[in-house]
Amino acid sequence: MNYDLNKLGQEQQKTSTFGGLRKLIQLIAHEKRTLIIALVAILVNSTLNLLGPLIIGHTIDRYVQHKDFTGVLHNAILLLCMFLTALFTSNKQTKLMGGVGQRMLFTLRNSIFNKLQQLPVGFFNQNKAGDLISRVNNDTDKLNQFFSQSLMQFIGNISTMVGAGVFLILINIELGAATLSPAVIILILTLALSPWIKRKNALNLKSVGGMSAEIQESLNNFKVIIAFNRRDYFRKRFDTANRDNYKTAIGSGLANNIFVPVYGFFASIAQLIVLTFGIYLISTGRFSLGLLVSYLSYSTLFYNPLRQLAALWTNFQLAMAGWDRISQILSLETDLPQLQAGITEMDCALLEFRNVHFCYTEDREILHNISFTLERGKTYALVGPTGGGKTTTASLIARLYDPSKGLVLLDGKDIRTYSAEERTKKIGFILQEPFLFTGTVKENILYGNDLYLNHTNEELEKVIIDANLGSLLAIFEAGLDTEVLSSGDSISLGQKQLIAFMRAVLRNPEILILDEATANIDTITEQLLSDILNKLPDTTTRVIIAHRLNTIENADEIFFVNSGEVIRAGSLHDAMDMLLQGKRVS
């Protein structure tokens, strides 16, 4: 399955702006009560601001021109009360929407992270971690900014514009039509340029993700950079990513600000129309000075929100571009679903590959029509040249991937019918490069193992000793309390593999897979691991991938894996002949 988010983004069907807005509103549907209160507050604010110019115009015509200062004072007090109320409602909706934005951000990040945990290994092989981090952090924050800062301003400005437009028409329909005519041109330009602005912002967000991925890769591999003295190589790669981000940032910046001067220009044209036409109407006796002042205020109330909408529309387009990148993740489904339980075959092997084919991409098949069985309690070795398919075979056993064709049976049942919890209890996998979390040895050993979660150090140490793992724990100076950093700087790679070994063995799996688990440890410790493997329960099946002869010499059966085939090799001598001479035997 294609999980490449960049390709999915290119193939994704374009959604309309308002279609995207509906999807965004669905994210906060559970905040309905808070949204209604915030909406009422902003509508009250807009109404009060709209009544102001009407009262001012009435005051000029009735009180100022007749020098009735008592009436002026009364109306001034009324306006002050209105504006204070408007200030309160504005502050109220700001607080409410700030809370909505933060809760939405919290929920959305949880949703993305939970979705990432549901996706298979293939997804992470096709996408860079830095880009995923950018989607979780940066893109979600764009949405938060829109909801907490822009959404209600957006609604408030629109309501103010609509109200101002209605007053402009009602006061004088001819002057109103002339005043609103530049807005028609603005609307056409906005609709025409919005898709282009959205594309520019999408490119910028993509380049931010790419630069984040480049930085993470450089920092994660800094030891290699120093060892090979190739700072120049990664400096050039970062410079390329940084330049790409600079170019897309310039492009999105120009696109995002293009409306501001355009809206300002047409707002000035509208003001000029009001003054020219209004003075003409006053000269003909069809208009009053107070109405002209009100009209100028309403014209300002109509076009000033338009200028603000230029910036808000930009934020909206940026949020939409971020939402597109987020929704690409949320819309994905795992290609490793749990199937309904079928018929269980009796008297069968512990694990069976039945006519299995596998490919990472459609154009290149890795395994071709593989069939073999693993019996309970035996030790199997997978040998073969690098790139021959050993780790792929082990990954299929652990169901990190599903076959392209064929079946993998576990205890007589299709492995796809087991839940993830059931499967991981039955199958332990020690990876070639085990990953540890920042914490202690104890926390890493108990990762994913609820059985000993509430054990004290003394109780857990007894469990470890009973499992014949005490000699491995003794290697760590502070025992279970030894500090571990995810970067691996606090302990050696060999020690990391020992922790992964203890973590897997304590789960008491039915199948234990070791993928080059002894590659980074000394021969004495390797002998300790060999002794521990020999003391595992008789029901435990061991699958060992290794290049060292002493690691596989005691295996009950050896499989030679190469060129898409898994062949029984017979003796260790025969397996070595296949490795050295490249022969194919059945």
3-state secondary structure 243-310: HHHHHHHHHHHHHHHCHHHHHHHHHHHHHHHHHHHHHHHHHCCCCCHHHHHHHHHHHHHHHHHHHHHH
* Mean pLDDT confidence for 86-101: 83
**CB neighbour list of residue 454: distance below 8 Å, 6 or more residues apart:** none
Contact 545, 391 (CB under 8 A): yes
Q: Give residue 12's pLDDT band: very low, low, confident or very high (50, 70, 90).
A: low
* Mean pLDDT confidence for 421-431: 88
pLDDT higher than 60, residue 492: yes
**CB neighbour list of residue 204: distance below 8 Å, 6 or more residues apart:** 245, 248, 249, 251, 252, 321
pLDDT in tens, 336-380: 888 888 777 887 889 999 999 998 877 788 899 999 999 999 999
Q: Which of these, 467, 410, 416, 464, lies nearest to 441 by C-alpha position?
A: 464
The DSSP element (H or E) to which 541 belongs, if any, is strand 541-545
For residues 37 and 353, which has the higher predicted lDDT (pLDDT)? 353
Q: Which of these, 153, 167, 171, lies nearest to 96 by C-alpha position?
A: 153
Q: Give residue 148's pLDDT band: very low, low, confident or very high (50, 70, 90).
A: confident
Provide CATH 3.40.50.300 ranges for the chain.
Answer: 351-581
Q: Give residue 251's pLDDT band: very low, low, confident or very high (50, 70, 90).
A: confident
> What is the pLDDT, as a whole number, of residue 205?
82
What is the percentage of the chain residues whose pLDDT exceeds 70?
90
Average pLDDT, the chain: 82
pLDDT higher than 60, residue 95: yes
Provide CATH 1.20.1560.10 ranges for the chain.
Answer: 20-330
> What is the pLDDT, as a whole number, of residue 20?
59
Q: Which of these, 482, 479, 436, 484, lies nearest to 458 by C-alpha position?
A: 479
What is the percentage of the chain residues whose pLDDT exceeds 90?
12
> What is the pLDDT, as a whole number, of residue 583?
44
* Mean pLDDT confidence for 112-120: 87
* Mean pLDDT confidence for 511-535: 79
> What is the pLDDT, as a whole number, of residue 6?
66
- The CA distance from 563 to 583, in Å, is 11
* Mean pLDDT confidence for 448-459: 86
User: Which overall architecture, per CATH, does domain 20-330 show?
Assistant: Up-down Bundle (1.20)
pLDDT higher than 50, residue 92: yes
The answer to whether the pTM exceeds 0.75 is: no
Q: Would you identify the CATH topology of the domain 351-581? A: Rossmann fold (3.40.50)
pLDDT higher than 80, residue 21: no
Q: Give residue 397's pLDDT band: very low, low, confident or very high (50, 70, 90).
A: very high
Q: Give residue 568's pLDDT band: very low, low, confident or very high (50, 70, 90).
A: confident
> What is the pLDDT, as a whole number, of residue 294?
81
- The CA distance from 374 to 408, in Å, is 11
- The CA distance from 472 to 522, in Å, is 13
pLDDT higher than 60, residue 488: no
